[in-house]
């Protein structure tokens, strides 16, 4: 018996302990699992050649671009929608590659622009608030 199959059987046996499963269900689950485990084994062999280490992860977020560590595509913003095409949420992606949960998946220059925009907005808000406050004061005085 090959490893994929025995691994799949172990998983299904564990499942069968926690919920009621028909024989058919178990058989098809073993089949499906064995196939996907085999698939995983093959893809991890391929991944070993281009191993992703910490510096690759760090370098994936650059001044003007963000590189998707799953497929190598380059973006300005690595969107949740793109990650969904790999079956990942941004949280899962960051966890998978050992990034901090708060890491923004955005090019550094864009991160700065966003930050500045936020600051500008806050300043503007403050100014408007001050103006409104002054106005109210005037109205009260009049
Ligand atoms: Zn990708």
Read off the pLDDT of residues 12-68 as tens digits, 9 standing for 90 and up: 888 888 888 888 998 998 888 888 888 776 665 555 545 678 889 999 999 999 999
Residues whose CB falls within 8 Å of the CB of residue 29, separated by 6 or more in sequence, listed in order: 8, 11, 12, 15, 21
Give the domain extent around 32: 1-51
30 occurs within a structural domain: yes
pTM: 0.52
What are the distances in angstroms from CA 51 to CA 46, 68, 71? Answer: 9, 14, 13
pLDDT of residue 37: 80
2 occurs within a structural domain: yes
On the question of pLDDT at 96 being above 90, the answer is yes
139 occurs within a structural domain: no
3 occurs within a structural domain: yes
Ligand 1 centre from 75 Cα, in Å?
9
CA separation for the pair 19, 37 (Å, rounded): 22
Nearest CA to 9 out of 40, 43, 32, 42 is that of 32
Nearest CA to 61 out of 96, 99, 88, 95 is that of 99
CA separation for the pair 139, 96 (Å, rounded): 58
pLDDT of residue 49: 47
Ligand 1 centre from 84 Cα, in Å?
9
Domain count, the chain: 1
Q: Which residue has the higher pLDDT, 3 or 31?
A: 31
On the question of pLDDT at 2 being above 80, the answer is no
Ligand 1 centre from 108 Cα, in Å?
19
78 occurs within a structural domain: no
Residues with CB under 5 A from ligand 1 (ion): 68, 70-71, 73
Per-chain mean pLDDT for the chain? 87
């Amino acid at each position: 018996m090959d490893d994929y199959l025995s691994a799949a059987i172990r998983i299904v046996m564990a499942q069968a302990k926690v919920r009621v499963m028909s024989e058919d269900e178990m058989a098809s689950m073993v089949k499906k699992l064995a196939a996907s485990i085999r698939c995983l084994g093959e893809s991890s062999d391929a991944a070993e050649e281009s191993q992703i280490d910490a510096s690759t992860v760090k370098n994936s977020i650059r001044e003007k671009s963000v590189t998707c560590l799953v497929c190598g595509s380059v973006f300005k913003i690595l969107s949740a929608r793109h990650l969904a095409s790999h079956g990942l949420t941004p949280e899962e992606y960051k966890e998978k590659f050992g990034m901090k949960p708060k890491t923004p998946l955005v090019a550094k220059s864009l991160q700065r622009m966003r930050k500045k925009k936020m600051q500008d907005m806050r300043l503007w808000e403050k100014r408007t608030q001050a103006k409104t406050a002054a106005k109210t004061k005037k109205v009260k005085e009049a």
